[in-house]
Structure 1
Amino acid sequence: MVGRAAPALSGWLGLPFSTWLVVLAYFTLTLGVALSIPFPSQIDELPHLSVIRSQFEHFQLFPEWSSYRQLEVDDLTRWSANPNYINHPSLYYALLAPLMAITASPLPFRIVNVLLSTGALTLIVLSVRRHFVEQAVPITPFAIITACFPKAALVGGMVNNDNLSALAGALLLAGMVGLPGAGWWIMAALAIAGWTKLTAFIALGAVAGTWLGLGWLRGDRRLTDRMILLAAFGILIGLLPYVVTWLRTGHLIWVNADIWRVPLDRRAHYDLAGFAGFFLRALVLKWPAAEGIYPFPLALLTLCLPLVLAAIGLRRPALRSIGLAYAVGLALLFGAHFLFGWRSFQALGDLTIMQVRYYNVLWPGIALAASAALAPLWTRQRWTAWVVLAVGLLPTMLGGMVIAAI
């Protein structure tokens, strides 16, 4: 069922016209966000742009985050007295900083993010199309499901380092499905993830480590194989900013406690079980692009559907190794996310850590297994497959707009 796609592939770069329509629709949505949503959005845009400005004025490979401030909203060339709370490594900000020499307007920075996000989707689809034949993974449903991560198109039109994380996720999948120079793709993915965001590094490091480890257990790889060595080198590069932060602060990441600390008289009171219930419910309600748009049961359905499909798709032998690797990555990221949230709640009373967008880097693997589960329906009962895909569209920006119009 799996192998190199047939030489005679329809469409540009081997993708059918319908798949390019999906990519175009995604690009249009992200561009629409960039052009229409007032700056700054509520998803950390001003703090992110402020760090870009800081890196432009004074480049720091390992920033002293506690000294950073936020820009004035009405004059993005002036600094306010408001402290910044961004604590991510410097790569994303340093890459975008040269654009500040041209303009301080947020729109060009948003456009760069549109290109990063759309480029990640395009690379993912091209990689999967090259490796899997249509009968194993129907490419258009795969492109639709991949584009349907609810927060992807929304954040894709904003200034946010999640978009560079998404590109790192695309690079990892490209290496895992065997694009030429696969080891270098994996190394780049892990290095970029580490220098972009800790959640992305944890998730993608777990995926790559599990996938390579399964290959070693099967006897397909030796510990001295070039791909394993390149992946290990990528992890070492990605670890560097957290090692420096650990040596400076005793923690993997710096946290601006003054911003996130809730006064004692305003704190919620949860034991571990109560916090777990709050945590899970919040993730479900935050799943749609427009958070809280659907009642809990419907939001839960739209979240569980792709996960159930992915679990079914794991039964395909050709997908088992990749699918299991992403399952381990999902479990490890969820565990780290919950643990950090619980400790933050205990120490600060903070209940803002429940962010679904952290899981975007793992979505391509889930989409791959889910679309494989849909393959029989796509071949024999296409209308049923379209119904399933329509449910998957409900939590997206497009689905929300359709529901609002109705």
Structure 2
Amino acid sequence: MIELKDVSLTFGHQAILESVSWKVNDGERVAIVGKNGAGKSTLLKMMAGAIRPDEGEVSITGKNTVGYLEQDVTLKPGRTVWEEALEGKDEILSLEREMRRYEEILSSLEADSSDLERRLNRYSQLQHEFEEKGGYKAESEAGAILSGLGFTKDRWEEPTENFSGGWQVRLHLAKLLLRMPDILLLDEPTNYLDLENIQWVESFIKDYPGSVVLVSHDRTLMNNVVNRVSEIAMRTISDYKGNYDSYLEERERRYEVLENAAKNQQKKIRQTERFIERFKAKSTKASQARSRMKQLEKMEIIETPREDATIRVILPKVPRSGKEVVRIKEVSRTYNGRTVFEPYTATFYRGDRIALVGENGAGKSTLMRIIAGKDEGF
């Protein structure tokens, strides 16, 4: 279990939480929601211990472990995909490397070699030790998780620096899932995933033995995996049982009750203010006017959630372009020795509305940078 006790948190000049107590129980699947800038990612960071609350405390019961997926991840270079996935299992990796070394030695020895029996005995010992330490199980789990997140087996031995930012986030997620922490904190876990991989993640989270807390804009994911929704609004956290659709329905009911209460309160305030203004100067009613003034001063104003402000973007007028806007001729791109896309030719015309689609790492953003003249390596 992870618990917030009387927590207050300010980010910049904005108060995100004020004296909030809230907890996630063992085995729960919780989605944190709220308008942009409400503090959803900041709350996850605080739960992960990356930042501290201004007041109050965040506690984790017992020896529960926490795994945290941020939106932006940069992995240290110098390791393969396989080694990165198995980070923290150094003993298993060391035994695996030693076993591979002995396999090469054994394959080069003649059948009648005097050294063969000794080498075979040592290889057998390594296999036994590898099994005892859960090596085969870890390998099987790592392979399943990497495959589920879209890493084909032929790329497991590639260095991590060969992969785009989106793929590095996938790899960090794979590493977290393999560790199986008691509490899993996921910030936009499906941002860089294809549909097939999203479905795999959904299935994994459903069967996950620990607690999962996630921030996501993926409505389908939240409907399929969470059993509770926690909304950050007006410097507090409100809980709703069920999935995302259930939350929307219940929130509408709660907001209606709150808005009616706020309207009634404002009506009462206006009536009281009129009474005070009318009778404060009359000796027979002055004491009543003062009494009601004190009541107003002590009254706690009912707040209602504010709707997201509408963003207005005003673009400057530009001269009318020619019929052809962009002409691409035999453009290709490689990245760290890997071909991102083959020679490509196209013409974009004035008024076109074009969507670039493809798997993560296919080169969509790279092509956009080339067209914009922002790709320094081109």
Larger Rg: 2
Q: TM-score if structure 2 supplies the norm length?
A: 0.28
Greater strand fraction, Structure 1 or Structure 2 = 2
Greater helix fraction, Structure 1 or Structure 2 = 1
Q: TM-score if structure 1 supplies the norm length?
A: 0.27
